[in-house]
Chain A
């Protein structure tokens, strides 16, 4: 039998931490399409570390897939650690509920700084009940928050479609109609022909739950 509490080995531990999923190479739109945060969470991953700086604003599909990744990771309680070379024209007011970049050239711009400073968990999320969806949006501040209730079988059926990165021209009519409905309230991200839902599905509440 070895020593009761073996001595610390922090360097080794950091390198082989089974809670961390690391992607060191460049992220492509195709690669983004293959990352499913819920699967990472099921495999015991709690942090997704992106080694290369992300560059938003150059490719519409890439932008939408990346925002979807941030949203789904939040829903799966997988913390995304990323840096950004650029966040393009992504307005902080749209994404202040998603985890901002931790570092990078993007944080030298006003938009990046606003995103970093305004981020708070739970500012825009939804919950699904029997045949209805509740959305809470406080991205503009608590005093200017809004709650939405979506009812009806069509909406419930179309919503999962919007959870994907959607190529809108090819999307079924109910998905496009729901997209346009939510676009009026800035609850979706549109980049050219691509789009996705912005609120994340609240699956695990923060502590204390009453703060959101």
Chain B
């Protein structure tokens, strides 16, 4: 969609809004031209780790809207388009005029299908159900960094990180870092951790669902506060 953000940045925003008690209204769109199941599986597998963050309101295929990059550039995939069918019930206009006033357009569906789409819907439905009973909170005191995991679907666990180097590493991950950027940032702080050691630690965090990863970058998932949640 050419919005200039990636999944790590989006997850970080969800985390920070949760910590700041800000309501986040968002939709998960799919159905982009050229997308494949392999684009989705790595993210979908991590959905259960996100259940303490505000879930999407809806999960649905992208709709072609005027002024969007997909509208302005048909070569991106939505070359075939026609004014949304609903306009026929509103305007008594010839098709060539309707094209000029329509904002929404129908297109052929070009996105993921089958198991990957079904799994995306099933896991996000679970996310919506589990959010109210899920927290993952980071608390830091003078001696250690504590991560209290009370997410639905996960074992009840309290992680304690008391190594100063790893506390610094975890705090760096709250920004969203690649392994190499993390190592470099830690070096700036005078902390030396081998590449292998860091990779193993990131794998452990990933297994415990404490980080989200995409495109080689990792972002820590625990919030610093839990808002008052009301079931709508």
Contacts and interface: CB of A to CB of B under 8 A. Distances in A.
Interface of A: 1-2, 4-10, 13, 16-19, 46, 77, 120-122, 204-212
A206 B160 contact: no
Interface of B: 18, 21-25, 54, 139, 141, 146, 148, 156-163, 165-166, 193, 197, 200-201, 204-205, 208, 210, 225-230, 232
Nearest to B231: A211
What is the predominant secondary structure among interface residues of chain A facing chain B? loop
A7 B54 CA distance: 28
Contacts of A207: 18, 21-24, 54, 227-230
Contacts of A204: 21, 227-228
A122 B139 contact: no
Nearest to A2: B163
B204 A13 contact: no
B54 A4 contact: no
A18 B141 contact: yes
Contact of B157 (A8, A16, A121): A8
Given A205-B21, A206-B227, A209-B23, 18 more contacts: A1-B165, A2-B163, A4-B201, A5-B159, A5-B201, A7-B160, A8-B157, A10-B156, A13-B148, A13-B158, A46-B225, A46-B226, A77-B228, A120-B230, A122-B230, A207-B228, A207-B230, A212-B230
12 contacts: A1-B193, A4-B201, A4-B204, A5-B205, A8-B160, A9-B158, A9-B160, A13-B146, A17-B139, A206-B229, A206-B230, A210-B232
A16 B142 CA distance: 12
